[in-house]
Amino acid sequence: MSRIALIVGAGSGNSAAFARALAEQDYRVVLAARNIGKLDTLCKQIGAHAISCDAASVASVNELFESMKQDVGLAYVALYNASAYTAGPITSLDPELVLDSLMKTAYGAFLVAQQAAIGMKQLGGGALFFTGATASVKGFPNFSPFAMGKFALRGLAQSLARELGPENIHVAHFIIDGAIASPGRDLGSDEHVTNVGDTELEPDAIAQTYMAVLNQHRSAWSHEIDLRPWVETF
């Protein structure tokens, strides 16, 4: 029987590429997002199930997992890929948008991780992945809300890596350091004229590393992996 993978904060970039890669390795994929209309094509392509969810809402996340349990099953893999931020000098930020950023980037990750971990403990194992950013390890000027959210996400991932590892649940935090290219390119071809010189991260290239980490033997797990273009200044 196929294992089940859940992607929260699914869109058209690295999450879609990861969904396709999972489907190729025979996972049944569930995509969750606030607006699932945009996911129709992907769902058809890979036979995925889409569920609408506001990741920052306790009730909505509970419904998502309830619905999965009834219709699909428990997730063996879960990726939290959602985030939101507002930028600007601290003196001119809107406190409501800052809260929204913290809720979607970090608190939602907690809610999803909690429900996912409950299921993975029942399954006897699993993988819990978090998509971070440059802002996960460096707070840039005028980006305090994003730094708060992404640092918090990393703290959550670190804590859970230590807590859930011995329960056979592989927790990994990915630091995406650079711009992600528009989706559509087939790696190995040169067709993708919008990413000349590979200066932006190809979604499929990100997904390839997510899959490599997912397939690691548990005697040698990675817990934090950086990913950036070869020409990126860092």
For the beta sheet containing 4-8, the strands, ordered from the edge strand earlier in sequence to the opposite edge, are 49-52, 28-33, 4-8, 77-80, 126-133, 169-176
d(CA 81, CA 39): 15
Torsion over CA: 32, 37, 42, 48 (sign): positive
Task: Lay out the site mask for a second copy across 148-167 (x = CB under 8 A, - = otherwise).
Answer: xxxxxxxxxxxxxxxxxxx-
Q: How far is the CB of 74 from a second copy (least distance, A)?
A: 13
Q: How far is the CB of 141 from a second copy (least distance, A)?
A: 4
Tell me phi and psi for residue 133, to 5 degrees. Answer: -150, 175
Q: How far is the CB of 15 from a second copy (least distance, A)?
A: 14
Complex with a second copy: residue 96 or 191, whichever CB lies closer: 96
- When binding is defined by CB under 8 A, the residue of 2, 141, 182, 189 that contacts a second copy is 141
Question: Is residue 118 a contact point for a second copy (CB under 8 A)?
Answer: yes
Complex with a second copy: residue 47 or 230, whichever CB lies closer: 230
Contact stretch for a second copy (CB under 8 A) within 5-13, 69-77, 78-86, 223-231: 223-231
CB atoms within 10 A of CB 76: 22
H helix intervals, 124-217: 144-164, 203-214
Q: Which two tokens stand for residue 199?
A: 């200066």
Complex with a second copy: residue 71 or 155, whichever CB lies closer: 155
Q: How far is the CB of 20 from a second copy (least distance, A)?
A: 15
Question: Is residue 147 a contact point for a second copy (CB under 8 A)?
Answer: yes
d(CA 23, CA 123): 20
- When binding is defined by CB under 8 A, the residue of 74, 113, 127, 133 that contacts a second copy is 113
Binders of a second copy among 10-49, rule CB under 8 A? none
First to last CA, the chain: 43
d(CA 163, CA 155): 12
Q: What SS3 class is residue 229?
A: coil
Question: Is residue 63 a contact point for a second copy (CB under 8 A)?
Answer: no
Contact stretch for a second copy (CB under 8 A) within 32-40, 43-51, 78-86, 204-212: 204-212
